[in-house]
Structure formats: C-alpha cells, structure tokens
Amino acid sequence: MTRNKLKLGIFGFGCVGTGLYKVLEEAESVDATIKKICIKHPDKPRPIDKKYFTTDKNELLYDSEIGVIVELIDDADAAFAIVSEAMKNGKSVVSANKKMIAEHLPELVKLEKKYQVPLLYEASVCASIPIIRNLEEYYDNDLLTSVSGIFNGSTNFILTKMIHEKLSYPVVLQEAQAKGFAESDPTLDVEGIDPKYKLCIILFHAFGLITKPESIFNFGISRISDFDLEFARQRNFTIKLIARCNKNNNEITGLCAPTFIEKENTLAHVNYEYNGVILKSAFSEKQLMIGKGAGDKPTGSAVLSDISALTYDYRYENKKYIHLNKQLKLVDTKIYKVYVRYPDPFSGFNDFDSIEEQYSSILGNYLIGHICLRKLAHSSWINDTNINVIFFS
C-alpha cells in the first residue's frame, strides 16, 4: 500500500501547535511537512524560521499544495469558519477543538458528506487516549451500553490535590492558575462545560446521536467544600468530575457532574492530569482506557496520529449515525441518586422521589436522595451557590 505525502497548513502555534511541531520532527515514519502556519501575533518569538508564518488565512486555505489543514486555535467560531472553508476547498482537516466540533456536528457531518473530505479530531477528546478511533472502528456495533469517565485534566488535577493534600478548592485553583495550569477564566473546566463538549462528541461516535451541548446537564466542582470532602472521606469515597452517557434501547441519557467514586473503582486511581474512559458493552463488559488528557505533547501526538491516518486515506465513517437506529432520543427522565448539601431552610425536599438519609449539624446539612434529572436541572435551588450536588456512580 502506498502512503500519501502530506503538506500541512497549521492554524495556531500555541501549546498544541508547538507540541505537534516537536512530535513531527521526531516521527520520521510520518511523511508530512509543514508548509505554512497562520498566527495572530507575528511579532512573538517562535522556535522556527519566520518564513513559515503568516497572518493571512487565505495563504493556507487557497494554497493548492496544502492538502491538510490542522486547526489548533482557541476561538471556536473562527475555527468553524476556517474548517468549513478548508473542507469546501477539498482539504482534509485535523482539529483539536472540542467546542467547535460539539457545537457544529450537524454542519460538519454534512460538509464531510458533500465534499467527501475527511475531518479527524481525536485530540479533541481526552488528548492522547484514542477514544474516538476505538468507538468508530472497534466498538462499531450496537452492543455498547455506556461510556463514562474523567474527561478533563485540569479539574482532575484540582480534585486530586484537594483530596490527597487536603487543600480547599480556592487554594488549589489559585495554585493551578499561578502555574498556568488552569485558565485565568477557568469556567469551562471547573463548571463541567469542557467535558460536556467531549461527551457530545462521544455520543455521536458511540451511539450515532447528535445533540446540542445545552441539552446536557452539567454541574461543576467549584462548590465542593471541606464539609463535602469530609463526607467523602468518611464513606471511603473519592470525588471525580465524571461525564457519562448510557443507552437503553433508543433512550440516551447523558450528564456531567462531580461523582463519588469508591476506592475499589480503578477510576479512583486516575489522578492529576490523567483522564480515564470506561466503556461498557453487552459482551466485552467493562473496559478502561487511561492516558494523559492534557499537555502539549500528548495532544500533539493525538494530532500526529490523525495526520498519519490521513496518509492512509482514513476517515470516520460515522457508521452508527448512518446505519443504526435513527429513533434515538436524549431523555432527562432518569432517576439518579445524589448527595445535596444545603443551608437551612431548604426548599427542595419535595423535588425528590425519595430521601434515604438526612443529616443536620452546626457545620452543615445534607441529604441523600433519588431525584429525576429533569427536576434537578430545573429546580429553583440548583443555582444557589450555597448548595452543592454530588452524584453517586
């Protein structure tokens, strides 16, 4: 079999772009060379020759020699404009932009079909873990029942520090920000929005469902207090920000929220910037994939694997979306067991189907109960920052 020689046009030369450059340098077996890199700030010092850089996107998008556009910028709207223009021009695209992919899946699937060009985005979900490729190729039948896990490295780093070093959320967040590890606006990570984008991409490749990110419930880690941590410790749990989805016949459920994890669960040992994905299927039972979920080189290596796949004309076939049951629907009527810490008085008792435990003390109050996801999501109290919710797994 022959392999294509590729000429790349890269958008963005930040953390991932620089990582990709380093990785490409060392991977001699991948026959891909960088032709041009489009950047916003031409005066920034760069590790390679100035001739590679331009600020004019059209120098890449309309260069007939460039067969592959690698999109590695932050801005999701600008990214979508670049990616769709590239595809219209018949160029293959590799992207690491989870927000852009998750928000534009219907358009992107149409573009892939209309212009018959591959769009690969392994690096957008859990960086170095090849989850999308495995969902597409290996779990390509209808036996998969659930995908869940730790999809965000920054929050897993924060939670690991909070639990292992008994530090409070604001202290750890500040440290992570000082080290440049968390964004100055950490909202997307700590409120569980970033892993929700990833969950949307997984829902598409796991089950063939396209859904809008805003249809999925997310709850973050920013309200986790010492009281909550002490509760977890007493019951021998750790806490992880878990994104999860399940398929039951044609009904799909999905959510992203902090979750108690038993110490016997392997996910309890997935710490710091590592991500972990658990797949359950009718016959292979539980499978777990663990790897670095962030960082320039792990992400760069996922981008490299996509580029390498293009040398063999690989593309996602979107098999489940095309071949499997189209009657799938996202439902929010499932009942979940949750822990809720609340200040007195608490107006939410009637929202619960049942309450298993209730505890009050001078330090705080909590209940453990069963509640319908829709009721929880639309409750009057969920936005009260004095109230925290943690799911049971």
Torsion sign across C-alpha atoms 348, 349, 353, 354: positive
- How many Cβ atoms from other residues are within 10 Å of residue 11's Cβ? 26
Of 161-169, 190-198, 288-296, 367-375: span binding a second copy (CB under 8 A): 288-296
What does the chain come to in residues?
393
Residue 177, both tokens:
């920000």
CB nearer a second copy, residue 124 or residue 222: 124
Regarding 293 and contact with a second copy (CB under 8 A), the answer is no
CB nearer a second copy, residue 274 or residue 366: 274
CB of 48 to a second copy, least distance (A): 18
CB nearer a second copy, residue 181 or residue 346: 181
Regarding 297 and contact with a second copy (CB under 8 A), the answer is yes
Of 7-15, 210-218, 297-305, 374-382: span binding a second copy (CB under 8 A): 297-305
Task: Measure the CA–CA gap between 123 and 32, rounded to whole angstroms.
Answer: 18
With CB under 8 A as the rule, give the number of residues binding a second copy.
52
Dihedral Cα 198, 201, 205, 207, nearest 10 deg: 90
Strands 53-54 and 32-38: parallel
Regarding 1 and contact with a second copy (CB under 8 A), the answer is yes
Regarding 292 and contact with a second copy (CB under 8 A), the answer is yes
Task: Measure the CA–CA gap between 243 and 200, rounded to whole angstroms.
Answer: 10
CB of 181 to a second copy, least distance (A): 17
Regarding 133 and contact with a second copy (CB under 8 A), the answer is yes
Strands annotated E in the chain: 6-11, 32-38, 53-54, 68-71, 92-95, 119-120, 144-150, 217-218, 237-248, 251-262, 274-281, 285-292, 329-330, 335-342, 354-360, 365-372, 388-392
Q: Is 106 helix (H, G, I), strand (E, B) or coil?
A: helix
Regarding 298 and contact with a second copy (CB under 8 A), the answer is yes
Residue 161, both tokens:
């520090």
Regarding 22 and contact with a second copy (CB under 8 A), the answer is yes
CB of 136 to a second copy, least distance (A): 10
CB nearer a second copy, residue 192 or residue 293: 293
CB of 262 to a second copy, least distance (A): 12
Catalytic residue list = 198
The only residue of 84, 134, 218, 238 in contact with a second copy, by rule CB under 8 A:
134
Of 72-80, 107-115, 133-141, 365-373: span binding a second copy (CB under 8 A): 133-141
Regarding 305 and contact with a second copy (CB under 8 A), the answer is yes
- How many Cβ atoms from other residues are within 10 Å of residue 343's Cβ? 10
The only residue of 38, 66, 229, 309 in contact with a second copy, by rule CB under 8 A:
309
Q: Crossing angle of helices 153-164/169-178, nearest 10°?
A: 130
Residue 5, both tokens:
């020689």
Regarding 149 and contact with a second copy (CB under 8 A), the answer is no
DSSP string, 284-339: TEEEEEEEE-SSHHHHHHHHHHHHHHHTTT-----HHHHHS-TT-EE----EEEEE
Task: Measure the CA–CA gap between 350 and 58, rounded to whole angstroms.
Answer: 58
CB of 286 to a second copy, least distance (A): 7
Say if residues 380 and 218 touch (Cβ distance below 8 Å). Answer: no
Regarding 302 and contact with a second copy (CB under 8 A), the answer is yes
The only residue of 33, 116, 141, 354 in contact with a second copy, by rule CB under 8 A:
141
Regarding 30 and contact with a second copy (CB under 8 A), the answer is yes
Q: Given the rule CB under 8 A, which residues bind a second copy?
A: 1, 3, 19, 22-23, 26-30, 127-130, 133-134, 137-143, 266, 269-270, 281-292, 297-298, 300-302, 304-305, 308-309, 312, 314, 317, 323-324
